[in-house]
Amino acid sequence: MQYVSTRGGVEPIGFKDAILMGLATDGGLLVPEAVPSAEIHLEEWVGLSYSELAFQVIRLFSDDISDEDLARMVSASYSRFDHPSVAPLVGVGSLSVLELFHGPTLAFKDIALQFLGELFAHVLTERGQTLNILGATSGDTGSAAIEAMRGRPGVRVFIMFPEGRTSPLQELQMTTVLDPNIFNLAVEGSFDDCQKLLKSVFGDLSFKDQWSLGAVNSVNWARVLAQVVYYFWSWYQLRCPASFDVTVPTGNFGNIFAGFLAKKMGLPLGQLNLATNDNDILARFFRSGAYQRGHVHFSLSPAMDIQVASNFERYLYYQLAEDPVSVKSFMTQFQDEGDASLPTQEGNFNWFNAGSVSDDETVETIRRLHETHGYLADPHTAVGIALAEKSQRPSIPMVSLATAHPAKFVDAVSRALPSVDNVHPVLSGLATKETRKYSIVADEASLKSFIESACD
């Protein structure tokens, strides 16, 4: 299996090289030369555990890792989850909610980042290399990456987050990790400012090579690949219906792109419902074909407070018939003008249904779910469920993805349910722990200077 860039400027490389490269050196994103079919394997995978299924899906994309090593890494990745099925499917009214928050940091990012941590450790040890990981987070990616990489030899982790724009508990999950290889960078600005810094620094190839920079954001192919697994897992937990729909609360497009990829692989997945908050650039695109940057609206679902979705380019690559020239042209126009458009009646547009959910509707959904079904949802999960309920089709099972434990968002949940106990033992003791973070301005030179000083 070889990997190429969505912009056509990278010679085909293997899986391990693709993981270490992270963001493609031409500014694009790495994708497989061909998407493998899973249809011939669907029957033989019935009855597998989550780890066994993950091994089977991932090995289709990673033929430069031995089966023995891959099986070991996958098993280790899911050994710290607090539920025996890793990602249980729970009935909530007429919906099935896939709980993806049973990992060590209580967010769906653990499913991919625990695997990426094992993968980095394996490849770096094998090659005798070191890696400086640079990431940007709107909340959960940072703590999940830190937990996966803390204390690992040969790895330093630099995580940027928008100062004051993550939940207090999300920030504490990052800043209470004091391992010497972890650096939390509080950036004066929005998540989009952090993401812009990430891409500009990775775009300086001489700096990237000099300081051996790697990525843990969903620009890294392994992140998306690990998320593909739970779409297959959902189908098996539903007992293999002829078709099923999913609803995904969406910010950076990586989570729902994994579902798109599973569908391309032959999983009988019907409609992909894309749920956003008031930052509805993706919802507007799938309604009109216009990808138009707006102003970031800070909301009760902060991980979705995004106007530039970093994984959207992978979708574009397939929507534009895998033509890197067209992808580069679209992305250049969007970068320069903040606006680019595509026809809505071509390619895979009709695979998606999209909608946005306001803060008021989010709060009401949290309240109603608890009062009606006894289910406590975090605000991101509530955004997804609100759209799922509107989009459910008769006789077709609907899976809505639950992306974080509600205890990570105390303020938002208490706005809906002020008298409900919303705690988790992993989070309860964080407030009394020592913290460490470094404040930087949203400036490329400042970020580079910090990395250089930390690596000397």
| Distance in angstroms (rounded) separating the CA atoms of residues 340 and 313 | 12
Identify the active-site residue in 16, 109, 199, 433.
109
- What's the angle, vertex CA 183, arms to CA 69 and CA 168, rounded to 5? 105
Q: Is 16 in the active site?
A: no
- Pair 388, 361: CB distance under 8 Å: no
Cβ neighbours, 10 Å, residue 42: 17
Instruction: Give CB contacts under 8 A, 24+ apart, made by 39-44.
Output: 39/265, 39/266, 42/240, 42/266, 42/267
Phi-psi region of 56 (alpha: psi -120 to 50; beta: other; left: phi over 0): alpha
HEC string for the chain: CCEEECCCCCCCECHHHHHHHCECCCCCEEEECCCCCCHHHCCCCCCCCHHHHHHHHHHCCCCCCCHHHHHHHHHHHCCCCCCCCCCCEEEECCEEEEECCCCCCCECHHHHHHHHHHHHHHHHHHHCCCEEEEEECCCHHHHHHHHHHCCCCCEEEEEEEECCCCCHHHHHHHHCCCCCCEEEEEEECCHHHHHHHHHHHHHCHHHHHHCCEEECCCCCHHHHHHHHHHHHHHHHHCCCCCCEEEEEECCCCHHHHHHHHHHHCCCCEEEEEEEECCCCHHHHHHHHCEEECCCCCCCCCHHHCCCCCCCHHHHHHHHCCCCHHHHHHHHHHHHHHCEEECCCCCCCHHHEEEEECCHHHHHHHHHHHHHHHCCCCCHHHHHHHHHHHHHCCCCCCEEEEECECHHHCHHHHHHHCCCCCCCCHHHHCHHHCCCCCEEEECCHHHHHHHHHHHHC
Active site residues: 109
